[in-house]
Chains A and B, each alone.
Chain A
Amino acid sequence: MKPRQKRLVFVAAGVVGIGIAATLVLFAFQQNMMFFFSPSQVAAKEAPVAKAFRLGGMVKEGSMQRVADGLTVAFTVTDNAEEVTVMYTGILPDLFKEGQGVVAQGKLDGAGVFIADEVLAKHDETYMPPEVAKALEQGKAAAAMQNVNQTTVIP
Chain B
Amino acid sequence: MVPEIGHFALIIALCLAVVQTVLPIAGAGLGKASWMATARPVAQGQFVFVALSFACLTYAFLNNDYSVLYAVSHSNSQLPTLYKVSGVWGGHEGSLLLWVLMLNVWTVAVAWFSRHLDQATVARVIGVMGFVAIGFHLFMLLTSNPFERIPMQPDGRDLNPLLQDPGLAIHPPMLYMGYVGFSVAFAFAIAALLGGKVDAAWARWSRPWTTAAWVFLTAGIALGSWWAYYELGWGGWWFWDPVENASFMPWLIGTALMHSLAVTDKRGTFRNWTILLALMAFSLSLLGTFLVRSGVLVSVHAFANDPERGSFILAFLAIVIIVSLVLYAWRAPKVGFGGDFELFSRESLLLMGNVMLTATCGAVLLGTIYPIAHQWLTGANLSVGKPWFDMFFAILMAPVILMMGVGPLVRWKQGNPSEIARRLVPAFVAAIVAALVLPFVMGGWRWVVPVGLFLAFWIFSSSLTNLVTRLQSMSGNDSLGAKMLKQPRHYWGMLLAHCGVGIFILGVTFVEGYDQEKDVRMDIGDTLVMNDYVFRFDGTIRVQGPNYRADQGAITVSKDGQPFVVLRPEKRIYNVQQNPMTEAAIESGFFSQLYVALGEPLGGSAWSVRVYYKPFVTWIWSGCAIMALGGMLAMSDRRYRVARRAAQETAHGAALEASR
Contacts and interface: CB of A to CB of B under 8 A. Distances in A.
Interface in A63-105: 66, 69-71, 89-92, 94-95
Nearest to B73: A126
Interface in B374-404: 374, 380-385, 387-388, 391-392, 395-396
A121 to B, nearest CB: 10
A33 B392 contact: no
B176 to A, nearest CB: 23
B388 A28 contact: yes
Interface stretch (B182-190, B448-456, B595-603): B595-603
Contacts of B520: 71
Interface residues of A, number: 38
B5 interface: no
A58 B138 CA distance: 39
Contacts of A126: 304
A140 interface: no
Contact of A95 (B380, B382, B579, B602): B579
B359 interface: yes
Interface string B352-381: 000100010001001100100010000011
B606 A36 contact: no
B392 A28 contact: yes
Contacts of B608: 70-71, 91
B298 interface: yes
Contact of A35 (B342, B367, B381, B599): B381
Interface residues of B, number: 44
Contacts of B490: none
A89 B519 contact: yes
B579 A25 contact: no
A21 B395 contact: yes
Nearest to B520: A71
A3 interface: yes
Contact of A1 (B343, B348, B391): B343
B233 interface: yes
B267 interface: no
A6 interface: yes
Contacts of A25: 363, 366, 388, 392, 395
Contacts of A131: 298, 381
Nearest to A9: B343
A32 B387 contact: yes
Contacts, number: 95
A28 B385 CA distance: 10
Interface in A2-53: 3, 6, 9-10, 14, 17-18, 21, 24-25, 28-29, 31-36
A66 B602 contact: yes
Given A24-B392, A92-B599, A32 B519 contact: no
Contacts of B233: 91, 94
A34 B383 contact: yes
Q: For A18, A21, A69, which residue has the most chain B Cβ atoms within 10 angstroms?
A: A21
Contacts of A122: 300
A62 interface: no
Nearest to B337: A7
Given A35-B380, A92-B599, A71 B385 contact: no
A75 to B, nearest CB: 13
A127 B83 CA distance: 23
Contacts of B606: 70
A28 B391 contact: yes
Given A21-B396, A71-B521, A91 B382 contact: no
B580 interface: yes
Given A24-B392, A25-B363, A95-B579, A35 B382 contact: yes
Interface of A: 1, 3, 6, 9-10, 14, 17-18, 21, 24-25, 28-29, 31-36, 54, 66, 69-71, 89-92, 94-95, 120, 122, 126-127, 129-131, 134
Which 5 residue pairs are nearest across A and B when measured between Cβ atoms?
A32-B388, A91-B599, A70-B521, A36-B381, A32-B385
Given A25-B388, A34-B382, 6 more contacts: A21-B359, A25-B366, A25-B392, A33-B385, A90-B519, A131-B298
7 contacts: A29-B367, A29-B384, A34-B383, A34-B384, A36-B382, A91-B599, A129-B298
